[in-house]
Chains A and B, each alone.
Chain A
Amino acid sequence: MRRVFIIAVPYLWLLALFLIPFAIVLKISLSDVAMARPPYLPQFSWEAGWGAFLSQLDFENFTFLTTDDLYWKAYLSSLQIAATSTLLTLLIGYPIAYAMARAPDEWRATLMMLVILPFWTSFLIRVYSWMGILSQEGYLNQLLLGLGVISEPLIILNTKVAVYIGIVYTYIPFMILPIYAALHRLDSSLIEAAEDLGCSRAKAFWLITVPLSRNGIIAGCFLVFIPTLGEFVIPSLLGGSGTLMIGKVLWEEFFNNRDWPVASAVAVVLVLILIIPIVLFQQNQQKQNEAQS
């Protein structure tokens, strides 16, 4: 009985907060836009019954997505931005995680704290601060001009570069923590054994450290890639109008166009795209659990 209860809680949670809302979004994506409140038809009524309600649903919003190249370009651009920023986060996060795992014991708790510290302030405030840093009159340009490194202010804000900076900055803890966990478990005598058997330091890193932190790398990449793909706040605040991302398109459909059915269709397709990496991620986690037990 207790076991059933323990298992039921997360499933009910998932049902109430993910599956039911998703079903509603799916239903809206099959509806038609209307000047009404809420702004779509049909509305379910008991007099008309289920048959009449279901017969009014169709897939024309999804067909519409294929007619305008804005949508597939936005999906593609989102995938590209998510992939690039995942790679950048990995390249920056791995050395940090490595250094943390190698740091003396008494430093580790502090370093871990520093990685988590940004979460203590609002995400929005942190992204706004980047606007202050990256804008043409921002601190970065002032510093570089002051040092004489550049003579003209750099244009960073409202470019893809700013989006990458924002994403890497925001999501790097999600990359560092799983890699750190993997490296932390790594027995340092394995590296010594590799050196003893004829490896240089660099070779031992490639042959031992990297393969043994593979699960951490995979977990970190998915944890960054999945939320980045649908990211809205960072591209809209830092990327300006030039950055096309599906999260932004979604927002504009909902709030500027008030076309809820098309916006819902965009969201449904996004979920379908995300299912692939999420399933792969789950498989990786499962394999990792099996290897440990």
Chain B
Amino acid sequence: MPECAFAPWTDPGAEPLIRFRNVTKRFGDFTAVRDLTLDIYEHEFFALLGPSGCGKTTMMRMLAGFETPSSGHIELAGQNIVPVPPNKRAVNMMFQSYALFPHLNVWDNIAFGLKRDGMPKDALRERVAEMLKLTHLERFARRKPHQISGGQRQRVALARSLAKAPKLLLLDEPMGALDKKLRQETQFELMDIQEKTGTTFVIVTHDQEEAMTVASRVAVMDEGELIQVATPSAIYEAPNCVYVADFIGDVNIIEGAAHRAGEDRYTVHWADGQAPLMAASDKAFSPAQNAFLAIRPEKVLVTAERPADAVNAIQGRIHDIAYLGNISTYHVEVAGGRMLKAQTANTRRIENRGFTWENRVWLSWDSTAGVLLER
């Protein structure tokens, strides 16, 4: 990683903006968040990612002040904010439903928080104009929320939550209600705005692609616990468990017994009568320990002949081809009826493809292409 990259989490001297310390939240006998400790740094775009019910929304609501932790504490800029009510926190939230006030027009919606602070009229007008400009809403200032489109409403919600220049902005599934194309545009717009304003963003999402696109770091959550907190590329390339590997993108998981085969190298015996697979790993595995080899489909090569220098090669039969235009995904049946996925870019026209359904092909990959996981 280059020196100039933004990575305060690698700097032991950096003071985090938000600090969750052993935070637990229970609703009745349901534990939404379990003994969770997490640091989020200033200027970060931090994504909480997980399936519904994993506790990510509860985390966000605790940051906003709508829920109090059952135990543990939360610090914002060194100050414990657990006893501080939501209206006294330098934290603003953009709601999933946008929660725009239907009886107020766009301008008044954006000005709402500023008026509560008793901002002088001129400064207020200036600030609202600035927000309208930032979100390209100048022309809609006098419209009511029901008179504008979904995408515009989303931007009003963003402008309103940014207007008070909070230390921390919380975004609860901010793009959940937008269609795919608009969502992708908005993701880049959101990153732009985050860079321009320098605000720390914490986003909650169940969409892994969205988290990967916008975030500087992603926390994958499940059942109230953090499974892995890392940069998007680390999460993708080096997941720390099968759950994360499987949750982020597409993956082949091959289970087998790992045996040490030299420094940082293991062989994985995955099926009887098949050559063991070679995988590099700096983790220590005891002899014959059960392990999971995770390989991304795009790292698997599909060829008609066995490549001469291949470290790992498995023969199989093409069961299915999913043609996606730019890429094709091959579902290949290998020994023991196991199905492996391989992805190739369609650099040639489809009729020039060397193989088709039912053909026997070779799948091959390098020893460093996959990740060997314990669980």
Binding site for B on A (CB under 8 A): 187, 189-190, 192-200, 203, 208, 211-212, 291
- 6 further interface pairs, Cβ-Cβ under 8 Å (given A187-B97, A194-B112): A189-B95, A192-B99, A195-B85, A196-B161, A197-B112, A199-B116
Residues of B within 8 A of A189 (CB): 95-97, 99
A-B contact pairs, 12 of them (CB 8 A): A189-B96, A192-B66, A192-B95, A194-B112, A195-B65, A195-B85, A196-B65, A196-B93, A197-B160, A199-B87, A203-B116, A208-B101
Chain B residues within 8 Å of A291, by CB: 146
Given A187-B97, A189-B97, A192-B95: A197 and B103 within 8 A (CB)? Answer: no
A197 near B95 (CB under 8 angstroms)? no
Chain B interface bracket (under 10, 10 to 19, 20 to 34, 35 or more): 20 to 34
Q: Across chains A and B, which 3 residue pairs bring their CB atoms closest together, nearest first? A: A197-B113, A198-B116, A193-B99
How far is A192 from B172 in the complex, measured between Cα atoms in Å? Answer: 13
B103 A192 Cβ-Cβ under 8 A: no
Chain B residues, Cβ within 8 Å of A190: 99, 101
In the complex the two chains form, what is the Cα distance from A84 to B92 in whole Å? 43
Assess the A200–B87 pair: CB atoms within 8 A.
yes
Number of A-B contacts (CB under 8 A): 55
A193 to B164, CA, bound (A): 13
The CA-CA distance from A193 to B112 in the complex, in Å, is: 10
> Nearest Cβ in chain A — how far from B26, in angstroms?
19
Q: Mark B85-114, 1 if CB is under 8 A from A, else 0.
A: 111000111011101011100000000110
CA distance A212 to B164 in the complex (A): 24
Residues in B with CB closer than 8 Å to A199 are 87, 116
Residue of B nearest to A198 (CB): B116
Docked Cα-Cα span, A291 to B145, in Å, equals: 12
Give the complex CA separation of A194 and B64 in angstroms: 12
The answer to whether B93 and A198 have CB atoms under 8 Å apart is no
Residue of A195, A196, A208, A211 with most partner-chain B CB within 10 A: A196
Closest to B91 in A: A196
CB-CB under 8 A from A196, the residues of chain B are: 64-65, 86-87, 91-93, 161
- CB closest chain-B residue, reference A208: B101
**A197 contacts B66, C-beta separation under 8 Å:** no
- Say whether A195 contacts B87, CB under 8 Å: yes
- Specify which chain A residues have a CB less than 8 angstroms from the CB of B29 in the assembled complex: none
In the complex, chain B residues whose CB is within 8 Å of the CB of A200: 87
The contact string, 1 if C-beta is below 8 Å from chain A, for chain B 304-319, is 0000000000000000
Contacts A192-B66, A192-B86, A203-B116; A197 near B92 (Cβ below 8 A): yes
B117 within 8 A of partner (CB): yes
What are the residues of chain A within 8 A of B113 when measuring CB–CB?
Answer: 197-198
**Bound Cα distance A195, B112 (Å):** 11
**Residues in B whose Cβ lies below 8 Å from that of A194:** 101, 112
Set of chain A residues within 8 Å of B102, measured between Cβ atoms:
212
- Closest chain A residue to B144 by CB distance? A291
| Interface of chain B residues 49 through 99 with chain A (CB within 8 A) | 64-66, 85-87, 91-93, 95-97, 99
- Chain B residues near A208 (CB, 8 Å)? 101
Q: What CA separation (Å) do A200 and B117 show in the bound complex?
A: 12
Chain B residues in 8 Å Cβ range of A187? 97, 99
A292 shortest CB reach to chain B, Å: 9
CA distance A199 to B118 in the complex (A): 12
State the CA gap A187–B97 with chains docked (Å): 9
The minimal Cβ–Cβ distance linking A189 to chain B, given in whole angstroms, is 4
Partner of A197, one of B97, B146, B164: B164
**Residues of chain A with a CB closer than 8 A to B95's CB:** 189, 192-193
Please name all residues of chain B whose beta carbon is closer than 8 Å to the beta carbon of A211 when the two chains form the complex: 103
